[in-house]
Chain A
Amino acid sequence: QLQLQESGPGLVKPSETLSLTCTVSGGSISSSSYYWGWIRQPPGKGLEWIGSIYYSGSTYYNPSLKSRVTISVDTSKNQFSLKLSSVTAADTAVYYCASGQVIGAFDIWGQGTMVTVSS
């Protein structure tokens, strides 16, 4: 059974880069059976898709965040990562990594990690 676990700093200063990693267990990140994504949820608010990456390495980003987002895969560590640059308080949220086997849906989610942007 595939499992995902987010890790990274819980506090980031304004204007700096937020960096998170999602470690995949129970399956290979290189498998063509999966695609991988990042979703976030500001406190008390709804879900926002940040971006996705496929086994081929192709990446797709939310247009509203595209200029600041990079998602990449490290096959040697079975991990994928998120970098969000020039953060502000509006980027404070719980960040989830997720995977999908069925086209269009994310069926496996990490537990989420809270990231606060503050000086």
Chain B
Amino acid sequence: DIQMTQSPSTLSASVGDRVTITCRASQSISSWLAWYQQKPGKAPKLLIYKASSLESGVPSRFSGSGSGTEFTLTISSLQPDDFATYYCQQYNSYRWTFGQGTKVEIK
């Protein structure tokens, strides 16, 4: 099975900072990578699909890049509403796997 490893596990940042989260797949998944934001007590929210496509309604400060085994989620200017946990998720051959999550905290 494909394993997804996110780094860092926790990230402390300030409003206005540029933030980058990395996700690595244990084997190539082409561009079948999604990113989600989850706030406490809420369901995950899709941000990015197919590695770099922005979901409708998601602010343009969020962007995704990468292919194969290395992917990144970038928040260009961190806003107060962005403090949350972020998960990557791969899709390959009718199987889905999530990364362990990255918590973005207030510095």
Q: A102-B49, A104-B49 are in contact. Are A110 and B100 (CB under 8 A)?
A: no
Contact segment of A11-19, A22-30, A47-55, A68-76: A47-55
The A/B interface has a contact count, at CB < 8 Å, of 64
Interface residues on B, range: 20 to 34
Q: How far is the CA of A46 from the CA of B3 in the complex (A)?
A: 14
Contact stretch, chosen from B10-18, B19-27, B76-84, B89-97: B89-97
Q: Given A104-B32, A104-B49, are A62 and B43 neighbors across the interface (CB < 8 Å)?
A: no
Contact of B46 with A60 in the complex, beta carbons under 8 Å: no
Contacts of A104 in B (CB 8 A): 32-34, 49-50, 90-91, 96
What count of chain A residues pass the 8 Å CB interface test? 21
The interface residues of chain B, by DSSP majority, are classed as: strand
**When the two chains form their complex, are residues B44 and A107 in contact, meaning their CB atoms are under 8 A apart?**
no
- Collect the chain A residues with CB atoms within 8 Å of residue B38's CB: 47
Complex interface residues of chain A between 64 and 112 (CB less than 8 A to chain B): 96, 102-107, 109-112
Most buried by A among B38, B95, B101: B95
Determine whether the beta carbon of B43 is less than 8 Å from that of A96. yes
Beyond A103-B32, A104-B32, A106-B89, list 5 extra A-B contacts (CB 8 Å).
A47-B38, A60-B94, A104-B90, A109-B43, A111-B43
